[in-house]
């Protein structure tokens, strides 16, 4: 369900999150769910502003109880260093908001203020866990991607997400057995496990969507403008792909030191190479 469009980015609410909001409202916890939703929106807007500042195009953001999930418009927007900055922006803003309201805002006995502080504190700390799709998991993936490539890094970070989710569910079951207070942990754990499982497939989906868009344009018009560039085998794939755009297809002619053409690489082959081998991959690897 789409909530709004801000700076060309659609904000969506996950159906399970919407169901949770309805249940909380029926239980008379409307104030709590509004505070949670507002805190999550602030968290995601921080990601969005940082992404825009770094030139990363985000198509939409889906809201979960523990934060959100940004869908990048094209595969080439994924850069490990930039992803770290974007990922950390949310927790930093959430923790800053908690600190500001705790130390600077008057009327310390205000229960609404205390709720806002606690939710932002939990949101910031929880998202720093090294597990996809949490922000800490994105940082972990960005670090691993520089060694193993995006695909393997995503798989490892998503696995961490599932492990942590199972631990949270187990803790919730223990609290429920002990004193019936673990329902929230069980719900959050189930959300996290489901999202981690989906995140493991997210990059493949992004890659395919980018290629399908180009294929659809070619089918629709019968012709797609192309741009041919020349490069040597040692040039990084990431640097070559930084010149691609959605409205044309790029072909790369690879030349040796004597300026003899040794081969051609299509845009799809370049993206797949970057996807498999990470940002350190060179044209020679393709």
Return the higher-pLDDT residue of 24 and 230: 230
Alpha helices (H) along 127-257: 135-148, 150-179, 183-199, 202-221, 237-241
Q: Does 44 qualify as catalytic in the annotation?
A: yes
The upper half-sphere exposure of residue 3, i.e. CA atoms within 13 Å in the direction of its Cβ, equals 18
Of 112, 133, 148, the domain-final residue: 148
Of 96, 124, 148, the domain-final residue: 148
- In the structure, what pLDDT confidence band is assigned to residue 141 with cuts at 50, 70 and 90? confident
Contact indicator for 228, 253 with CB cutoff of 8 Å: yes
Q: 238, 239, 240: which is closest to 264 by C-alpha?
A: 240
Whether 108 is covered by a domain: the verdict is yes
How many domains would you assign to the chain? 2
How much is the pLDDT for 206?
61
How much is the pLDDT for 271?
79
Return the higher-pLDDT residue of 222 and 35: 35
Of 148, 177, 202, the domain-final residue: 148
Please tell me whether residues 22 and 129 are part of one structural domain. yes
- In the structure, what pLDDT confidence band is assigned to residue 250 with cuts at 50, 70 and 90? confident
Whether 157 is covered by a domain: the verdict is no
- Domain of residue 264, CATH code: 3.10.580.10
**pLDDT 10s digits, 197-244:** 877 666 666 666 666 666 666 677 777 778 888 888 888 887 887 676
Residue 254 domain boundaries? 225-285
Whether 202 is covered by a domain: the verdict is no
Q: Is the pLDDT of residue 169 over 80?
A: yes
How much is the pLDDT for 128?
93
Percent of the chain with pLDDT over 90: 14
Compute how many other C-beta atoms are within 10 angstroms of the C-beta atom of residue 260: 8
**pLDDT 10s digits, 71-130:** 666 555 556 788 889 889 999 999 999 998 888 765 655 667 788 888 899 999 999 999
Please tell me whether residues 131 and 247 are part of one structural domain. no
Stretch (H or E) spanning 72: strand 67-72
- Segment 52-72 mean pLDDT: 73
Instruction: State how beta strands 261-266 and 249-255 pair.
Output: antiparallel
State the average pLDDT for the chain.
Answer: 80
* Among 44, 62, 155, 267, the one annotated catalytic: 44
């Amino acid at each position: 369900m789409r909530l709004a469009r801000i700076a060309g980015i659609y904000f969506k609410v996950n159906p399970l999150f919407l169901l949770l909001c309805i249940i909380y409202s029926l239980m008379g916890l409307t104030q709590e769910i509004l505070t949670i939703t507002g805190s999550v929106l602030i968290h995601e807007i921080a990601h969005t502003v940082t992404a825009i500042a770094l030139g990363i195009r985000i198509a939409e953001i889906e809201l979960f109880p523990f934060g959100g999930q940004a869908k990048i418009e094209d595969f080439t927007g994924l850069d490990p260093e930039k992803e770290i900055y974007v990922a950390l922006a949310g927790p930093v803003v959430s923790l800053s908001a908690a600190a500001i309201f705790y130390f600077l805002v008057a009327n310390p006995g205000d229960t609404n203020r205390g709720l806002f502080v606690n939710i932002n504190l939990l949101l910031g700390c929880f998202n720093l866990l090294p597990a996809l799709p949490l922000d800490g998991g994105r940082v972990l993936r960005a670090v691993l991607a520089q060694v193993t490539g995006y695909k393997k890094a995503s798989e490892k970070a998503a696995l961490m997400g599932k492990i942590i989710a199972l631990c949270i569910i187990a803790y919730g079951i223990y609290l429920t057995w002990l004193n019936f207070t673990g329902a929230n942990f069980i719900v959050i754990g189930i959300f996290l496990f489901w999202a981690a499982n989906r995140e493991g497939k997210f990059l493949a989906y992004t890659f395919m969507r980018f290629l399908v868009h180009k294929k659809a344009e070619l089918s629709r018009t019968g012709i797609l403008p192309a741009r041919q560039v020349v490069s040597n085998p040692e040039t990084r794939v990431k640097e070559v792909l930084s010149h691609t755009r959605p409205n044309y297809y790029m072909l790369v002619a690879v030349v040796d030191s004597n300026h003899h053409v040794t081969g051609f690489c299509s845009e799809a082959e370049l993206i797949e190479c970057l996807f498999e081998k990470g940002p350190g991959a060179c044209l020679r690897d393709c």
